[in-house]
Amino acid sequence: MSTSLEQLQPAPNAKVGIYLPYYKSNNQRTALPLVISLYDKGSLEGERKIEGGNNIPFVATWSVSTLPADMTRCRLQFDGNADLSYEITMANFEFINYLIELLIIFKRSRVVDFSRRFYTKLLRYDD
């Protein structure tokens, strides 16, 4: 999966501009063109980093929509096992923020993985 993240082309400015008001930091705004391109693909493969253990592969899929306030349903399946599937629905702008975090993690560690904040929300530990 890392090669496809490295091969992402920035999304057109018109698509990026719709989302810009939702992100204030320079890191978020810099990553946004690539993240919108990733979001438009509707899926990605990665590995959940397990401290002191083997990484667990996952496939993430999500519904794609054009407006930041539209809802996105994201599904993660771990280790190719349907019993290890989790689903969450959130606003596009919120999900895209998690993809921004994923891209930042990838650039730092070369591992395609969501942030701890995303997993906390996915597993509903923040309710």
Average pLDDT over residues 80-105: 95
Query: For the chain, which residues make up each domain, given as ranges?
Result: 2-122
* pLDDT-derived band at 1, boundaries 50, 70, 90: very low
Q: Which pLDDT value is given to residue 118?
A: 96
pTM: predicted TM-score of the whole model, two decimal places:
0.91
Region of residue 83 (left: phi > 0; alpha: psi -120 to 50; beta: else) = alpha
Q: Which pLDDT value is given to residue 50?
A: 84
Q: Which pLDDT value is given to residue 20?
A: 96
Share of the chain above pLDDT 70, in %: 95
Q: Which pLDDT value is given to residue 4?
A: 83
Longest dimension (CA), the chain: 44
Is the CB of residue 76 less than 8 Å from the CB of residue 86? yes
* pLDDT-derived band at 126, boundaries 50, 70, 90: low
